[in-house]
Amino acid sequence: MSLNPSIAPKTTIGMILKGYPRISETFIANEILLLERLGFDVHIFSMRQPREAFAHATVREIKAKVDYLPENLLAPLPIFLWYNIQLLLRRPRAYLAALGLTLKRWCRSRKSATFKHLLQAGYLVQRCLPRTRVGHLHAHFAHSPTSVALFSSVLSGLPFSFTAHAKDIYTSNPAQLREKIEKAAFVVTCTEYNRRHLLRLTGSAAKSVHRVYHGIDLRFFNSELDKASPKPPYRLLTVARMTEKKGLDDVYRALAILKARGIPFTHTLIGEGDDRDELLALIERLDLDDVTRWLGTQPHGVVLDEYRNADATVLGCRIAANGDRDGIPNVIVESMAVGVPVVATRVSAIPEIVRHGQTGLLVSPKKPAELADAILRVLDDTELRARIIPAAKVAVNRDFDNRRLIRDLAAIYSRYMGT
């Protein structure tokens, strides 16, 4: 598919990412690939090298060139200084303006990373930009990538925008985030819950905050498997990073309740994270070793096979102590597309897609007993399954088709970048 050449911007989008490629950020790779197929030219600036040894097939299809910025502050300091001093001499007024903004933001946060972001921006503008046709900068995630985009914009004179997702919104300093929204040409976010939160921060920028769901490639998730009447032992699936906001401890406590009731099941967890050791220890304490398995991070083909084998997908998402929370986890959309019923929590934007009793089941966060009851209901109530499985597929097809949603995003870029 391709846009009329007069619609796609003539200049390149400089996409600033925290890391590239990343298994957990398939939605970003999908977005870049689909923009390219619509006629957009993208150049990637990554703040970190890849952290996994493999990548999804989507990445191999992306044509965008990639520049990696120096990751740390001290070791590459001579390189940073070399390019930043050159930029200071070439554009002293712009550099002093960026330095003033850096000091202002540092006074708010007292984080040394603020100076690193300025130096990364100087490196990007002086060393990387001249070799590209970049005419607009766009960052994914509202924290450090957007900080680099903001400083790069001041240093280069190019407009910038950003996409805000989840943790980056709710763990950011509100004043810092408000400033980014006000200075950006536009902001995109992936849920209505997020959009309303950002608008509450700054009503003056209301017209420039847009909601565009991530979406999925529905061609990968078509399934004619009959999941209306599952047979024990039931197969439960969770795909999630092993972090506090995912509420995996609540999931395992719910599973322990089911086991104590004599419900036959197996549970598979796909994902990695900082809380791995604690969660694996919890599994052992709850005597769940014989019914659970942990696969770590897996490529998308393996995840898709697990969806097809599952009788239900279970998530225990909650708001973490630092304010971090999910938007709409991709696992929910993908499970619903395949025809796997979802049991999740009423947190953040999850109710935008999981409507209790209509497209899935919702329970209160931090309530393992409620979660256990809902899991049992979705496994045992064939009438409920017959109702929610097709309704969930309809909802995903209507609202989360990434081939349609990318056109909405492309229209936003074109509106602000010109044609």
pLDDT value of residue 419? 54
> How does residue 225 score in pLDDT terms, banded at 50, 70 and 90?
confident
Q: What is the DSSP letter of 69?
A: P
236-263 residue pLDDT tens: 999 999 999 999 999 999 999 999 999 9
- Provide the 3-class DSSP secondary structure of residue 131: helix
Q: Helix (H, G, I), strand (E, B), or coil: what is residue 238?
A: strand
pTM of this prediction exceeds 0.75: yes
What whole-number distance in Å separates Cα of residue 237 and Cα of residue 311? 8
pLDDT of residue 57: 77
Question: What pLDDT band is residue 1 in, cutting at 50, 70 and 90?
Answer: very low
Rounded to whole angstroms, the Cα distance separating 240 from 296 reads 10
Residue (of 192, 216, 240, 190) closest to 344 by Cα position: 240
Give residue 4's pLDDT.
46
> pLDDT band for position 204 (50/70/90)?
low
Neighbouring C-beta atoms of residue 318, cutoff 10 Å: 23
For β-strands 312-314 and 292-296, DSSP reports them as unpaired
Reported as a pLDDT band with limits 50, 70 and 90, residue 181 is very high
Over 70: is that where the pLDDT of 53 sits? no
247 compared with 74, residue with greater pLDDT: 247
pLDDT digits (tens, 9 = 90+) for 316-339: 999 999 999 999 999 999 999 999
Q: Which helix (H) or strand (E) holds 306?
A: helix 300-309
Peptide bond into 78 cis (omega under 30): no
The pLDDT value recorded for residue 177 is 96
Q: How confident is the model at residue 7 (pLDDT cuts 50, 70, 90)?
A: low
- Which two structure tokens, joined as six digits, stand for 242? 């092993």
Asked if 98 contacts 74 with a C-beta cutoff of 8 angstroms, the reply is no
pLDDT for 137 equals: 98
pLDDT at 54: 64
- Helices 192-201 and 174-183 cross at an angle (nearest 10°) of 90
What is the distance between the alpha carbons of residues 36 and 23, in angstroms, rounded to a whole number?
Answer: 20
CA distance 259 to 51: 37
Answer yes or no: is pLDDT of 5 > 70: no
pLDDT at 6 over 60: no
Q: Mean pLDDT in the chain?
A: 93
What is the mean predicted confidence (pLDDT) over 368-387?
A: 97
For each of the domains in the chain, give its residue range(s) and CATH number, in order of start.
Answer: 12-215+401-417 (3.40.50.2000), 219-399 (3.40.50.2000)
Q: Please compute the mean of the pLDDT values over residues 141-146 and round it to a whole number.
A: 97
Q: Where are the beta strands (DSSP E) in 217-275?
A: 234-239, 265-270
Cβ contacts of 258 within 8 Å, gap of 6 or more: 265, 372, 375, 376
Q: What would the mean pLDDT of 76-98 be, rounded to a whole number?
A: 97
296: nearest Cα among 4, 10, 5, 23: 23
- Identify the weakest region by mean pLDDT among 211-225, 315-329, 349-363: 211-225
CA distance 334 to 219: 11
Compute the Cα dihedral for 255, 258, 262, 267 and give only its sign. negative
Confidence band for 202, pLDDT divided at 50, 70 and 90: confident
Instruction: Using the predicted structure, report yes or no on whether residue 163 has a pLDDT greater than 60.
Output: yes
